[in-house]
Amino acid sequence: MNRYCLIIVSAFIACVSASFARTRGHDHTIRSAAELAALNLQPGDRVILQAGDWNSQQLVFKGKGTKEAPITLISAEPGKTILKGNSNLLIDGQYLIVDGLNFTQGASQKKDVILFSKETSYCRLTNTAIVDFNTPDKKQDYKWVSLNGDHNRVDHCYIKGKTHQGTTLVVWVADKPNYHQIDHNFFDYRPDLGVNGGETIRIGTSQVSMDDSYTTVEDNIFYQCNGEMEVVSNKSGHNTIRNNLFYECVGTLTLREGNFADVYGNYMVGNGVKGTGGIRIIGEGHRVHHNYLTGLTGTGLKAAISVMDAIPNSALNGYMQVKGAVIRNNTIVNCAEAIEIGAGKRDDRGLPPMNIAIIGNVVLASDPIVYTDQPQGIKIKRNLLYNIKLPGDLPDGFDMRDPKLIRDGLNIYQPEDLRKIGAPALNNEQHQLFDGLGIGPTWHKGVPPIRVKL
């Protein structure tokens, strides 16, 4: 019996050892893009980039890992592998992880700084920074992160200071859904570009806007992202944008094209900065709910919640009619305009929203609702107003009474009765956004103080 048990144990150890060997792979320490290109990477391998300056290196990270044994490209000291000059990175394969790189003091001449190829799936960019990686020619267009393929993730990155043409991070939508995830990143200051093309994130393009992406953007900080009107531009279907913090952004979260977006749990803090905006709605089937919007100065297209008029028989790159939008349980505090219906109406853009619902919102010290155009069907009920003097009658669907708001340590107001109206109390993930916990790279200096000003 003892001999039999010994055989079983030995066989088990051999199997575990073999499995570990398959998942662990080999370590390869490299000093250049040429050394990376020479490797024949296998599942479980790690490529370790030496710390120091890497000047004008075009890295091609190619391989096929597995879920159990991904292939990793990692800095020997996170943040200290510094890619300068005309450096860029191509990620091409399956189950690849890039960790700890630092792109700064450089500019790409033609290519996007970090590109996920069309064949890429289940790959991850994490713990990485791109800072001031700008060409002197502000008209030159390259993206800092381009996401192709499917099921890829960009997380815990720090991205700051893009001054030239081109969206900072683009999801390219193809003929099938992407299922990408963009989370726990710190998108720092981007100055006004002065023209279109300065978005921080864009999901899709006009040409594919009727296709579905199913991309999720969650738990990110957008800090003074002022590149253009659209901080986040949704241009495809069935995307989820949730639990993000937009801080003093001169622009809006824009559902520009595409349908059936789910936008909830976001905090949009303007602090009275000129031109700060909220959520702009265009298209069909969007749900905008349980968001908190405060101190936004924008009106019209930049109202806290802006529901646009459309162009009749619009082209894909025009303005589609808003249909079936649900706007519920949002809290809007000290904003110039809470909700505008028919925003952007003009001679060629006069098709009003259809069949929209505005339910259970709380509006404090803000102009509650502006009708630039009359919608074709609206359900509006159980909304509360407080602490505002109206020039005329109370709008339909609004009651003027004290919602018994409680102000927390972040100067965020919550109603006592959280079951029916307004945005819910901050959850743990949202608290972490305001405190900067778990956002951006582990090696980065951290997030500046983020507070709501009264």
Give tens-digit pLDDT for 41-89: 999 999 999 999 999 999 999 999 999 999 999 999 999 999 999 999 9
Question: Which pLDDT value is given to residue 417?
Answer: 67
Instruction: Compute how many other C-beta atoms are within 10 angstroms of the C-beta atom of residue 289.
Output: 18
| Residue 340 covered by a domain | yes
Query: E strands along 162-226, which residues?
Result: 169-171, 181-183, 186-187, 201-204, 216-218, 221-223
- Confidence check: pLDDT of 432 > 90: no
Half-sphere exposure of 110 (CA within 13 A, CB side): 1
Kindly report the pTM of this predicted structure.
Answer: 0.94
Chain position carrying tokens 């001999």: 3
Q: Which domain holds residue 274?
A: 134-435
pLDDT of residue 415 exceeding 80: no
Give the whole-angstrom CA distance, residue 279 versus residue 330.
Answer: 11
In angstroms, how far is the first alpha carbon of the chain from the final one?
Answer: 77
24, part of any domain: no
Residue 322's CATH number: 2.160.20.10
Residue that wins the pLDDT comparison between 2 and 323: 323
**Helix H or strand E encompassing 428:** helix 428-435
pLDDT in tens, 289-330: 999 999 999 999 999 999 999 999 999 999 999 999 999 999
What mean pLDDT do residues 15-37 have? 77
H or E, element range at 58: strand 58-64
For residue 166, what pLDDT band results from cuts at 50, 70 and 90? very high
pLDDT for residue 1 is more than 90: no
Residue 184 included in any domain: yes
The answer to whether 52 and 29 have CB atoms below 8 angstroms apart is: no
What per-residue confidence (pLDDT) applies to 419?
61
Higher per-residue pLDDT: 391 or 141: 141
What pLDDT is recorded for position 392? 75
In this structure, is residue 253 part of a structural domain?
A: yes
- pLDDT for the residue 393: 79
Please give the tally of structural domains in the chain.
1
Contact 69, 20 (CB under 8 A): no
Residue 91 is assigned to a structural domain of this protein: no
> According to the model, what pLDDT value does residue 3 have?
53
pLDDT at 375 over 50: yes
Q: So what's the pLDDT on residue 427?
A: 83
Q: Which residue did the predictor score with more confidence, 267 or 1?
A: 267
Which residue in 299, 381, 312 sits closest to 340, CA to CA?
A: 299
DSSP letter (8 states) at residue 310 = B
Question: What pLDDT score does 17 carry?
Answer: 43
Q: Let me know if residue 419 belongs to a domain.
A: yes
Please answer whether residues 203 and 236 qualify as being in contact, where contact means their C-beta atoms are separated by less than 8 angstroms: yes
Asked, for residue 65, whether it belongs to a domain, the answer is no
Measured CA to CA, the distance from residue 443 to residue 420 in angstroms comes to 42
45 within domain boundaries:
no
pLDDT at 15: 43
Query: Does 12 score more than 80 pLDDT?
Result: no
pLDDT score of 418: 57
